[in-house]
Amino acid sequence: MADEADRASRGPLPLDLFERGDPAFVDAIRDVADADALADFAGPWYEDTRPASRRLLLDYLDRPLNAFRHEGLIKRLFKRAEAAGDDEVMARFLVLFDRSVRRVRRTRVVSMHEQVKTKEESTALQALWNGLGYNWVQEWGRAGNFHVHAQRPDEVIVQPRRSTMPRGRIVELEQGGPVSPAVLKMLKQSRLFSVSTRNYMRRRAWRYFRNLGKDHPGRYVLAASEALALYQDDDVADGLALIDNWGLVHILFHNSPAIESRPTGWTPRPGRSLAELSPAPAFESAWDASPGSVVGLLSKAGSRTVRRWAIRRIEADPTTHRPALPLEGWIDLLGHDDPEVATLAADVLDRAEGLEGLPVDRWLALAESTHPVALDLVCELIGRYVRADQVTFAQAVRLAGLRPPPAARLGLAWLRALPPDRLDIPAALTLVDAECEPLRPEILRWLRGALAASPDSGAGMILDFLDSRHADVRAEGWAWFLAEPRARDDPETWRRLLESPHDDVQLALVAELEQRIAGDDPARLARSLDPSALRTLWAAVLLNVHRGSRARPAVVRQLLRRLEASPADAPALLPLLGVALRSVRGPEHRAGLVAVVRLVEARPEVGPLVRSAFPELQWA
């Protein structure tokens, strides 16, 4: 209760959060609708020199201009920052007011009407208006008094109605109760101040920067860079949104002949388009004298438009701008999310000096982090400055296992260049999970050849291929299995293969078994293969609803051979045989039934079990 009384005595502002520097203060104060208390708080907040208070202020100004009844707080904070020459806060205000005005395109009808005396004049007038884009032309009247009327749609840029947040009372906000969806929608879409006031405020914010440019060019560039870094892609979602940013366009394109400024905002000049915009900043000489600020925008700017502006200035004068960033800075930009930035960084490094001293680990890290569009050039640089004898076998394997083809290709080239005695079998076997699908066949062929030539190779390595999650790796492993006698005749390899969960391996095993047992002694077959593992394999093939129809007749034959060789397995195998026979059709089904009858004749002791498993058969 004491805490509640203390809080009430301090008014509606969440001052307890403010005093603690709690980030929740920003959301809390935006919910306050007491205009007088908010306006009075502007001075103490701005003058509070604590870093936490400053951080909260900047966070508050990064939010949309749609906190109900906050006009007084915004105005007083703006005036104090302007009077104090606070470039950091004024950069926030420049962006905040730029975001507060968003025009829309509307279509209006433009009409023309003319009265002429002759039919020839009317016909000529209609042809003229049709050529000017009027898509509806009408004529009426008679000789000596012809009326020609025409209309065409015309696109105009206007400020949408009802974009101003109401300044009257909204009881549910002021009392802190639940807010209706309609009010929430209004708050989200509306902005503080009238459109005229917002236009004035953004012009005044730019005036502050303009005065900086005149009196302190170096300081202007730093403050403008601070503002440019704050714009996001949503702020320049299209061409109209771009020119709605009054301050941004001044900073980037103030002197562009493609646009002109009007009291309501920027607009394309007659006969020009926004596609013609190119870097033409205000105070261009100040930017020319600060190439580091331009290059710094590549990493700091949140808007692609700003980064592209910086790229075009760098490309226009590379000898001045490229040295403004250290080599490590350009290397870091290779991993930028913007492909244009990464491409520019790669182009700079292609002409840079001093890369020969970069450690191998750093090069490998670049191969893993560089944007895909610049990876070809980066891998070319790696190949230029790193020799195969400088990398370990594990490093080459790591590169070959990456998904991007340029990196995998370079890693494979290193592996091929390494001598056989540097083969590390455990590391090499990780390439069965190589991610580069287009290059994986080449990687697998090299891997199989290297492992097969190693004196330490064993049949178990083939199982790493056959256990892979990639079908092409399993196919290569099966070809190796068939070509390697040590694996084909190894009981342990067979035991593990019979437990494979992959249907392509299962079907291949059934086909291989069919070839193996065609001339085998059934008794020897019974001794060489594990009955439970065989049952698992046969059941998997029979129950495969997507593949395996061609292998089912072979499963039937193998089951019958197994029963002939080991009648003791009949209780476990006959139910499976029943499923197998019911899953095949035509000649295979009839041949299977004949084989069952012959089994009973050859092994009378299994007769009762067979009759129980096939109750639908009538026995003589």
Q: What is the pLDDT of residues 185-236, one digit of tens each?
A: 777 778 899 899 999 999 999 999 999 999 999 999 999 999 999 999 999 9
Q: What is the pLDDT of residue 58?
A: 96
Q: Check whether residue 143 and residue 230 sit in a common domain.
A: no
Ranges 228-242, 284-298, 317-331, 513-527: which has the least confidence: 513-527
Check pLDDT > 90 for residue 532.
no
Q: Check whether residue 564 and residue 457 sit in a common domain.
A: no
Q: Is residue 74 part of a domain?
A: no
Q: Check whether residue 412 and residue 307 sit in a common domain.
A: no
Q: Check whether residue 274 and residue 310 sit in a common domain.
A: yes
**Which stretch, 523-532, 537-546, 563-572, 599-608, has highest mean pLDDT?**
599-608
Gap between the Cα atoms of 460 and 416, Å rounded: 23
Q: What is the pLDDT of residue 296?
A: 95
Domain that holds residue 250: 195-325
Q: What is the pLDDT of residue 523?
A: 43
Check pLDDT > 90 for residue 245.
yes
Gap between the Cα atoms of 478 and 439, Å rounded: 19
Q: Check whether residue 421 and residue 410 sit in a common domain.
A: yes
- Tokens matching residue 458: 């064993």
Gap between the Cα atoms of 73 and 391, Å rounded: 62
Q: What is the pLDDT of residue 526?
A: 44
Q: Check whether residue 414 and residue 312 sit in a common domain.
A: no
Check pLDDT > 50 for residue 525.
no
- In terms of Cα–Cα distance, which of 52, 167, 29, 172 is closest to 11? 29
Q: Which amino acid is at 317?
A: D
Q: For 374-386, what is each residue's pLDDT tens digit?
A: 888 889 889 888 8
The residue with greater pLDDT, 288 or 163, is 288
Q: Check whether residue 314 and residue 402 sit in a common domain.
A: no
Q: Is residue 277 part of a domain?
A: yes
Task: Compute how many other C-beta atoms are within 10 angstroms of the C-beta atom of residue 296.
Answer: 19
**Which stretch, 79-93, 256-270, 528-542, has highest mean pLDDT?**
79-93
Return the percentage of the chain with pLDDT > 70, whole number: 75
The answer to whether 372 and 405 have CB atoms below 8 angstroms apart is: no
Ranges 156-170, 439-453, 479-493, 605-619: which has the least confidence: 605-619
For residue 354, which phi and psi values (nearest 5 degrees)?
A: 100, 0
- Tokens matching residue 178: 């639940």
The answer to whether 264 and 114 have CB atoms below 8 angstroms apart is: no
Could you write out the three-class secondary structure of 519-543? CCCHHHHHHHCCHHHHHHHHHHHHH
- pLDDT class for 5, splitting at 50, 70, 90? very low
Q: Residues 20-33: what's their mean pLDDT?
A: 92
Q: Check whether residue 536 and residue 423 sit in a common domain.
A: no
The bridge status of strand 104-116 relative to strand 145-158 is: antiparallel
Gap between the Cα atoms of 1 and 553, Å rounded: 84
Check pLDDT > 90 for residue 155.
no
The residue with greater pLDDT, 519 or 397, is 397
Could you write out the three-class secondary structure of 399-448? HHCCCCHHHHHHHHHHHHHCCHHHCCHHHHHHHHHCCCCCCHHHHHHHHH
Q: For 456-487, what is each residue's pLDDT tens digit?
A: 777 778 888 888 888 898 889 888 888 887 77
Gap between the Cα atoms of 115 and 137, Å rounded: 13
- pLDDT class for 358, splitting at 50, 70, 90? confident
Q: What is the pLDDT of residue 246?
A: 95
For residue 290, which phi and psi values (nearest 5 degrees)?
A: -130, 65
Gap between the Cα atoms of 336 and 375, Å rounded: 12
Rounded to the nearest angstrom, the gap between the alpha carbon of residue 602 and the centroid of all alpha carbons in its chain is 67
Check pLDDT > 80 for residue 441.
yes
Q: Which of 450, 468, 497 is the last residue of a domain?
A: 497
- Continuous segment of H or E residues that includes residue 266: strand 265-268
Domain count, the chain: 4
Q: Which amino acid is at 14?
A: P
Q: Which of 497, 525, 540 is the last residue of a domain?
A: 497
Q: Is residue 224 part of a domain?
A: yes
Gap between the Cα atoms of 75 and 169, Å rounded: 20
Q: Check whether residue 577 and residue 510 sit in a common domain.
A: yes
Q: Check whether residue 468 and residue 536 sit in a common domain.
A: no
Q: Check whether residue 217 and residue 292 sit in a common domain.
A: yes
The answer to whether 349 and 379 have CB atoms below 8 angstroms apart is: no
Q: Check whether residue 469 and residue 556 sit in a common domain.
A: no
What pairs with residue 154 in β-bridges? Answer: 108
CA distances from residue 357 to 70, 327, 378 in whole angstroms, order as listed: 57, 11, 15
Q: Is 169 helix (H, G, I), strand (E, B) or coil?
A: coil
